[in-house]
Amino acid sequence: MRHWNMCVVTGGKAMIRLDFEVSEDVAERLRSQAERKGLSLSQYLIELVTDAVEAEKDWPAGYFVRLAGVWADARFEEPEELPYEKRSWKDF
C-alpha cells in the first residue's frame, strides 16, 4: 500500500489534510493521469476530490435518461391541452 499525507495551501488558504492509502497500482495510475494532465499529483488529487464534491450539487449523471419512460404504465394518459389564457399587460 502507498500511504499519502497531504497538506496543501492554495490561494493563501490552508486546506485540510487528507491521509489515505492506495495500492501501488492505483498510485502509479494516479501519477500517470496527473502527468498526462500536466499537474502535480497533489494538484490532480485536489481536482478529483473537488470535482466529486461539486458533482453532488448537480443531478446525478444519466438521471434524466434513466427517468425517461418510467411511466410506461398503460393507465397513464396524456391530458388534453388546455387553451392559453389571454391576458393584458394591465393584469400585471
Instruction: Please give the Cα distance from 31 to 23 (Å, whole number).
Output: 12
CB 8 within 8 A of CB 46: yes
Residue located via cell numbers 394591465: 90
Instruction: Please give the Cα distance from 64 to 54 (Å, whole number).
Output: 19
* 84 found inside a domain: no
* 86 found inside a domain: no
Instruction: Please give the Cα distance from 20 to 71 (Å, whole number).
Output: 44
* 14 found inside a domain: yes
Instruction: Please give the Cα distance from 72 to 3 (Å, whole number).
Output: 50
* 88 found inside a domain: no
Q: How many domains does the chain have?
A: 1
pLDDT of residue 68: 73
* Domain range for 34: 2-68
* 52 found inside a domain: yes
Question: pTM of the full predicted structure?
Answer: 0.50
Residues of the chain with pLDDT under 50: none
Give per-residue pLDDT as tens, 19-42.
788 899 999 999 999 999 999 998
* 24 found inside a domain: yes
* 73 found inside a domain: no
* 76 found inside a domain: no
